[in-house]
Amino acid sequence: MSFKFLTFWSLLGPLSVIGGSQPPAPTEVRLSIATLHAAALTKARAAGDSADSPYLLMSIIGPGGSIRASHVPTTGQLTIHLDEALGARPLTDLRLQPGDSIRLLVSVLEGTRVAQAEESKVAASSTEALLQNGDARASHLASALSPITKAGAHWIGSASLLVTNENGTVYWRALDCIATCKVLKGPAGALEPKGGRPVAGVVELSGDGGTYHLQLQGERGS
């Protein structure tokens, strides 16, 4: 065997190993609101107040403790009447590498919104409630949300979600209540490959006179 042939394969071997060690692609997950139903409206602010203006504020805690805020709708509020169910709409999109865990804290509020920069600060400080136990979680979250509630917003309730990527299989692992909330249906099992049936969970939120049923669902985008 010639020296030239040996040299060629000694170079090609390491290159082929490097090419085969590409990191796995992240899995994309879409979380969405399947329905938002108002079984009872929040306390009326004035005579003739016959509709609520809800919105969702989310704190998204990603790998490495990164935190970002998300809002539905992006600007303004939704409008909902007594016993009305609003249709499906996106909640947020996630990207998880194998081994990643992402936790979301979802608070449903109604009425007044503060500036987006202030909401983002509130969303970041709200995450500390997830480190508490029992009733302390609700009281800590109440303090974190106080800049919004003191501005006049009704706080209907909050829940948390946990999504994990375990060796390429994505699970919606938990749906837990934080304040004025009851889990009616917990998520079950892994998220099916793209195009499969979504995994769903339902909570009842009952703060400030309102009673809302929020159905969330998760599905893979890749």
For residues 38-54, average pLDDT: 93
Residue 140's SS3 state is helix
> Measured between alpha carbons, how far is residue 105 from residues 83, 127, 219 in Å?
25, 7, 18
Section 182-191 average pLDDT: 94
- Classify the C-alpha dihedral 75-125-211-37 as positive or negative: positive
The pLDDT, as a whole number, for residue 10 is 42
What is the band of 189 on the pLDDT scale with cuts at 50, 70, 90?
A: confident
Please state, in angstroms and rounded to a whole number, the distance separating the CA atoms of residues 42 and 37. 13
Q: Which domains does the chain have, with CATH numbers?
A: 27-220 (2.60.40)
What is the band of 80 on the pLDDT scale with cuts at 50, 70, 90? Answer: very high
Classify burial at 41, counting beta carbons within 10 Å of its beta carbon; exposed 0-12, middle 13-18, buried 19 or more. buried
